[in-house]
Amino acid sequence: MSIQANKIFINLPVKDIKKSVTFFNEVGFGFNAQFTDENAACMVISEHIYVMLLSEAYFQTFTKKSVADAAASTEVILAISASSRESVDEIVYKALSSGGSISNDPQDHGFMYAWSFQDVDGHLWEVIYMDESAVAQG
């Protein structure tokens, strides 16, 4: 039996909630005010994908492990889809103009185009466009 989850909630530790909210607002993401306070902010990626930006101190209450310093190490790369190559570039340029930095150069594989950035805490984000008609269905 395979798991059929309907939504994904990603918990991401950040150093400064307000700074992160400002950054991601400038990139183009919205927030659900009902689940946002001084400890957390619920960023809406889509109707099924949410990123809970949690202050590092609050994040630490959910784990016995130490919180990784995203500026020094990588635990995860968050990949999101875009509707076109131009949208990939637009999202990354907005991230860069809002205080983010380049993670990797753009990657053009013909049927797939990707570019990545680091947010204000150093978390890695990859934005991907894929031409679905070029991908084998099966």
| pLDDT value at residue 1 | 67
The model's pLDDT over 89-134, given as tens digits with 9 standing for 90+, comes to 999 999 999 999 999 999 999 999 999 999 999 999 999 999 988 7
The C-alpha atoms of residue 130 and residue 128 are separated, in whole angstroms, by 6
**Domains of the chain (ranges plus CATH)?**
8-134 (3.10.180.10)
Res 75: pLDDT: 87
Helix axes 85-97, 17-27, angle to 10 degrees: 140
Determine the pLDDT at residue 47.
94
Alpha carbon dihedral 5, 30, 21, 43, in 10-degree steps, equals: -10
Confidence class for position 3, pLDDT limits 50, 70, 90: confident
User: How many CA atoms does the CB half-sphere of 5 hold within 13 Å?
Assistant: 5
Helices (H) and strands (E) in the chain, counts: 3, 8
- Name the pTM for this structure: 0.88
Four-CA torsion 5, 60, 52, 7, nearest 10 degrees: 0
pLDDT at 134: 78
Which tens digit of pLDDT belongs to each residue from 32-80? 999 999 999 999 999 999 999 999 999 999 999 999 999 899 889 999 9
Rg of the chain over Cα atoms, rounded to whole angstroms, equals 16
Burial label, 95 (beta-carbon count in 10 A; 0-12, 13-18, 19+)? buried
Q: Round to whole Å and give the CA distance between 97 and 78.
A: 19
Half-sphere exposure of 85 (CA within 13 A, CB side): 9
